[in-house]
Every structure is written in structure tokens, then in C-alpha cells.
């Protein structure tokens, strides 16, 4: 195999793009599909794929939303925005501004809000405004370093901050090259349109965890967890069974209702287990629990066999790093097969064996589908298949560092990319705003601050404010890993925006922090961009800090 240096690859690609642009510079190329510009045709065709709750527009034209897998929608969105960018560059200097106007019109038509749509529009705004060559280098470099060649494991935490630095530099060069939006007035309208659409979404979708337009039910501590009908036991709880053997056998009858009895189940009466699933049943059927006891088995139990729920139990012995995934896992959770092929083959001995197709799963993310009676875990990896794995081969994405988890989101569904896509768009737009424009955009951002008490909102306000005020070039330098000490926020804002920074941060902190606003404002001024990003992530409720939907 011939190795081609990264710089040479990018250079060849842009040579081809420039040649194609020169071929259509005099208007000789095809620029319209009928009477519609090609970039608009591409945009409309992609919008037909975006899931909507309202079937009237635009999916209503074909009767119902087009079913599409999350990964396929993300890839289609990436191709669409790249094609739009290329076609706008071929269509003249005003095509980019026209595309932004059209994107604004699409957002205004979306009455109920769509996380997928807003994330894609935000990414498209950033792609239109940023320097193409720098942006391409970021994407290619991130793809090249996303997986360590020697181990097969993703190294997202090593590539996140350099990628963000590259995006900031692309934004700065795009402004210098007078890329759209070419006027402050249009930049203000686009920024306000994005933030207005964000306000229509539930908090879970704004944080990139919920997706869609529905909010999980329940309180903040147990949102999204399935419970028994009376609510006293939930998926994920640690429970202890009563130790009356004869009674336990009777409670498992009849087998068609409760799964029956196996002599190995007797050992589970002496140890606590984790509720990993509560199967959905007709109201007329008795309730059962699927409880995992690690190597002792994962069995279906009559709910009456539970003697107590153990509060704050922490990890059980079979869940700890030495013999398990390092986190409490339940059916439906996301996991990574976090071993190399050679390590996996050794771990699979006496744990389901090895299939050569499992090679494609190593290093990838899947969803836990089942836990068998030996404690081994069946994981479905999209595009590769479902296989039974030794629990020691798995790692929970909930236990990742924040950089790795955010990288996972960028590789997941479009909805999960919303926070970072919107921050990229606000950074590209912010450096084009005058003082009045910045105030107008911030006013839109803060409109719903009084009513929002959801986790992560204070950190998000600080991040979005920073995106509107920073100088992209200075901010990129602050994220350069070659520098040992990152610059605080107050040293990377644009000179013209520096007087506004304390005022905005004080307003953001005051809405959510009460009497501690002054202290936290000072902390935000002294924090770096990476610290603000980490602070937002850590403020999110634990159930929202999932990496992505598979």
C-alpha cells in the first residue's frame, strides 16, 4: 500500500475543486435544476429526510417522514452541506447569503422545533462561513487520528481540542476572506434565528441528549428509567432477594408467567443483584424483573421475590474494572468493545467463543441487548452484527472523560451534535457582529433564562456568550496543545467586545446562581475555553451525559 502524506492529499483535493470552480466561473456550468439553483435543490432534498413530528411540511408531500437510520441521516447531512458549500462557491458571491436566508426561512417554518434540523442548519452555517481549506484539513486530520493504529481504540480525547482549534482558525480565515454572511445585519438575523429555534426545544434536546421533540418523563434523577407499575423498583436499582428457597421456587410458577426455576438460581438468593430490565407486559400479566448477578447468571424473577432495594450501593463486584465494564449497565445501554482483536480473542475463551466477524466490532460502539445466564453480554454493533462478549471486553460510555464523550457525540446522530454545531455557528457569526448585533444576539439567548432550571443551562450560557465574543484566531491559539497554559476567556475576546464580557457573564450567572453570581462570573472570566466546555458537561445530569444514540 502506498502511503500518501495528509498535506498532499488535501492539496490534490483542492486542486480538483479549484479546477472545477474555474470551469464554471464564466457561468458555463450547470447551475440550476429547472428554475431552482442546485444548492437549493440539494437542501430541499435533504430536508425531506429530517424526521418531523408535524407531517404537513415537508415530509407530508410524500405522505409520511422518510424512515432513515441515525447514522445514515448524519452521513446524508454531511454530504448535503458539503455539496451546498461547493455549489454556492460556484454560483457567485451572493449565493452564500441567499443560502443563509433560505436556511432562516426553513427554521421559521418549523413551529415545534427539531433538534436534528437545527443541528444541521447550524453546521451548514458554519460550513458556509468558514475557510474551506482549513475546514477540510480539520476533518481529514480528525479522521486520520480518530483511531490509534496500534491498538484499534478510539483516541477522541486526543483529537477534540486540536479539532476545535482548527474550527476556530477556519472561522477566522473565513471572515478574512469575506465569506458569508457578508453583512453584520444578516449575521444578526441568522444568530437570532438559530437561538430562537433553540428556545423551542426541550432541555434534553438542547443538551444533545434527548433528540427529537419529546421530553423523557419522570423527575431529574430517574428520567428515562423504566419502573414497576407501583414505581418502587426501577431499572438500574440494586436489589436483594429474600432467602427462602422453597418460597422462591413457588413464586417462579407457572413458568409461562415467571420463567420457571433453575437450581443455579439458588445461589443468587445470597447476593445483591442489578435490575437490568423490566419487560413490558399487558396490565393483566404479573410483573417480572430481569436481575443480573454477574457470573451467577441473569435470570427472570417474580417481582415479589425482591426483599429490599439497596440505596447508593455503588458498583457490584462483578461490575468493577477488574472483572466487568467499570459501570452499572442495563439492557439498552451504550457500550464500547474496548479491546484489540488479539485481546478479544483471549477474553472470548469460555465466553461464547470467537467469530471472525467480531473483528469489525473491536473499538466500536454498540447497544447492550441481553445478558445471558453466565453473565456474558450480547451487544449489537450497527453494521457488524450482534455477538456475545466477555464483560471484561466492554466499557461503558458513561464512564468516559468528557472529551471522549463529546467526540462520540460528533460520530453519532445529528441530534447529539447540536450543542457543538450551534457553538461553531455562533463563533463564525459572532466575529461578524458589531456591538449592537452582539447585544441583540445575547438578548435572544437570554430570553428564556428565567424559566430554565435544567442542568447544564448555566454552563451553556457561559459557552454561548464566549462563542459570540471571542476572537477566533486568539481562541484557536489558546487551544493549541503546544502551549502549556491555556489563555483565560478575558484574554481571547475581541477588543471591541471586551467591555461587554463582564456584563453578559454577570447576567448569565445571576439568572441561575443567585448570590454566588459575582464569584462565578470571576471564575468564568479566568476560565479557558476548554474549562468552560468541561464545566458545561459536568453540570449536566448524569443521565444526559450519555455519549450518543446508536
Range of the domain at 345: 320-399
- CA 17 to chain centroid, in Å, comes to 31
In angstroms, the CA 548 to CA 550 distance is 6
- Whether residue 55 is found in the same domain as residue 183: yes
Provide the residue-wise pLDDT of the chain in tens; the chain has 550 residues.
344 555 666 666 666 666 655 555 544 444 555 578 889 999 999 998 887 654 444 444 444 455 676 678 888 999 999 999 989 988 877 899 999 999 999 999 887 778 899 999 999 999 999 998 888 888 777 766 554 333 444 444 456 888 888 999 999 999 999 999 999 999 999 999 999 998 888 776 787 765 433 333 333 333 456 889 888 898 889 999 999 999 999 999 999 999 999 999 999 998 999 999 999 888 889 999 999 998 898 999 999 999 999 987 778 888 876 666 767 788 888 888 989 999 999 999 999 899 999 999 998 888 899 998 888 999 999 888 999 999 989 887 766 677 877 877 777 778 888 999 999 999 999 999 998 999 999 888 887 655 455 555 677 888 898 999 999 999 988 876 545 567 788 889 898 888 877 776 666 555 544 445 444 555 567 788 888 888 888 887 766 665 444 4
Are residues 80 and 206 located together in one domain of the fold? yes
Residue 550 lies in a domain: no
Q: Residue 512's pLDDT is what?
A: 46
Three-state SS annotation for 298-350: EEEEEHHHEEEEECCCCCCHHHCCCCCCCCCCCCCCEEEECCCHHHHHHHCCC
Q: Is residue 183 part of a domain?
A: yes
pTM: 0.73
127 lies in the same domain as 103: yes
Cell numbers for 212: 427529537
Same domain? 380 vs 417 = no
**417 in the same domain as 395:** no
Same domain for 432 and 379: no
Same domain? 391 vs 420: no
523 phi, psi to nearest 5 deg: -65, -40
Q: What is the DSSP string of 1-13?
A: -----HHHHHHHH
Residue 404 maps to a domain: no
- 52 within a domain of the structure (yes/no): yes
CATH of the domain at 343: 2.30.30.140
Do the domain assignments include residue 56?
A: yes
Total domains present in the chain = 2
Together in a domain, 390 and 448: no
Q: What pLDDT was estimated at residue 484?
A: 54
Q: Are residues 202 and 340 in the same domain?
A: no
Most distant CA atoms of the chain, gap in Å = 88
Contact between residue 349 and residue 359 where contact means Cβ atoms under 8 Å apart? no
Judgement on whether residues 417 and 375 belong to the same structural domain of the protein: no
- Look at residue 298 in the predicted model and tell me its pLDDT: 92
Asked whether residue 341 is domain-assigned, the answer is: yes
Query: Are 338 and 427 in the same domain?
Result: no
User: 151 and 108 share a domain?
Assistant: yes
The sheet with strand 306-310 has its strands ordered as 298-302, 288-292, 273-277, 238-241, 306-310
Residue 533 lies in a domain: no
**Three cell numbers written together for 239:** 436489589
Classify residue 547: in a domain, yes or no: no
**Rounded-to-integer distance, Cα 386 and Cα 345, Å:** 16
Amino acid at each position: 500500500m502506498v502511503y500518501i502524506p495528509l498535506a498532499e492529499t488535501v492539496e490534490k483535493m483542492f486542486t480538483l475543486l479549484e479546477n472545477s470552480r474555474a470551469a464554471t466561473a464564466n457561468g458555463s456550468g450547470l447551475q440550476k435544476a429547472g428554475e431552482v439553483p442546485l444548492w437549493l435543490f440539494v437542501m430541499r432534498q435533504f430536508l425531506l429526510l429530517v424526521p418531523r413530528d408535524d407531517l404537513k411540511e415537508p415530509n407530508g408531500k410524500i405522505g409520511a417522514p422518510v424512515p432513515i437510520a441515525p447514522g445514515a441521516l448524519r452521513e446524508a447531512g454531511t454530504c448535503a452541506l458539503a455539496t451546498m458549500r461547493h455549489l454556492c462557491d460556484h454560483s457567485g458571491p451572493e449565493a452564500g447569503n441567499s443560502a443563509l436566508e433560505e436556511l432562516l426561512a426553513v427554521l421559521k417554518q418549523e413551529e415545534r422545533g427539531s433538534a436534528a434540523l437545527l443541528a444541521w442548519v447550524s453546521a451548514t452555517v458554519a460550513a458556509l462561513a468558514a475557510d474551506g481549506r482549513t475546514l477540510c484539513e480539520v476533518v481529514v486530520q480528525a479522521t486520520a487520528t480518530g483511531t490509534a493504529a496500534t491498538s484499534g481504540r478510539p483516541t477522541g480525547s486526543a483529537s477534540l481540542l486540536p479539532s476545535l482549534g482548527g474550527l476556530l482558525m477556519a472561522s477566522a480565515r473565513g471572515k478574512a476572506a469575506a465569506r458569508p454572511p457578508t453583512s453584520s445585519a444578516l449575521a444578526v438575523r441568522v444568530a437570532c434565528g438559530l437561538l430562537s429555534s433553540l428556545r423551542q426545544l426541550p432541555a434534553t434536546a438542547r443538551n444533545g441528549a434527548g433528540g427529537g421533540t419529546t421530553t423523557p418523563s419522570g423527575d431529574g434523577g430517574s428520567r428515562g428509567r423504566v419502573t414497576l407499575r407501583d414505581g418502587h423498583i426501577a431499572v438500574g436499582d440494586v436489589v436483594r432477594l429474600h432467602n427462602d428457597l422453597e418460597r422462591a421456587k413457588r413464586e417462579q410458577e407457572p413458568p409461562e408467567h415467571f420463567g420457571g426455576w433453575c437450581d443455579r438460581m439458588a445461589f443468587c438468593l445470597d447476593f445483591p443483584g442489578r435490575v437490568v430490565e423490566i419487560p413490558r407486559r399487558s396490565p393483566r400479566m404479573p410483573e417480572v424483573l430481569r436481575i443480573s448477578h454477574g457470573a451467577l447468571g441473569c435470570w427472570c424473577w417474580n417481582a415479589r421475590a425482591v426483599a429490599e432495594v439497596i440505596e447508593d450501593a455503588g458498583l457490584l463486584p462483578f461490575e468493577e474494572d477488574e472483572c466487568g465494564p467499570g459501570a452499572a449497565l442495563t439492557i439498552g445501554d451504550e457500550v464500547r468493545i474496548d479491546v484489540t482483536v488479539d485481546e478479544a480473542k483471549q477474553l472470548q475463551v469460555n465466553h461464547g467463543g470467537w467469530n471472525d466477524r467480531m473483528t469489525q466490532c473491536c473499538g466500536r460502539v454498540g447497544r447492550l441487548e441481553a445478558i445471558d445466564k453466565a453473565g456474558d453480554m450480547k451487544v449489537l454493533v450497527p453494521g457488524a452484527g450482534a455477538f456475545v462478549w466477555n464483560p471484561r471486553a466492554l466499557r461503558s460510555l458513561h464512564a468516559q472523560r468528557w472529551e471522549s464523550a463529546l467526540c462520540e457525540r460528533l460520530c453519532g446522530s445529528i441530534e447529539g451534535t447540536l450543542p457543538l454545531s450551534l457553538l461553531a455557528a455562533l463563533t463564525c457569526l459572532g466575529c461578524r457582529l458589531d456591538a449592537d448585533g452582539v447585544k441583540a444576539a445575547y438578548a435572544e439567548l437570554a430570553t428564556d433564562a428565567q424559566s430554565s432550571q435544567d442542568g447544564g443551562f448555566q454552563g451553556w450560557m457561559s459557552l454561548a456568550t464566549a462563542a459570540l465574543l471571542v476572537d477566533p484566531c486568539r481562541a484557536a491559539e489558546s487551544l493549541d496543545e503546544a502551549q502549556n497554559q491555556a489563555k483565560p476567556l478575558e484574554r481571547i475576546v475581541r477588543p471591541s467586545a471586551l467591555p461587554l464580557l463582564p456584563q453578559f457573564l454577570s447576567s448569565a450567572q445571576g439568572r441561575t446562581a443567585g448570590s454566588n453570581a459575582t464569584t462565578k462570573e470571576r471564575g468564568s472570566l479566568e476560565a479557558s475555553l476548554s474549562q468552560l466546555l468541561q464545566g458545561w458537561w459536568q453540570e449536566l445530569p448524569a443521565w444526559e451525559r450519555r455519549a450518543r444514540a446508536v
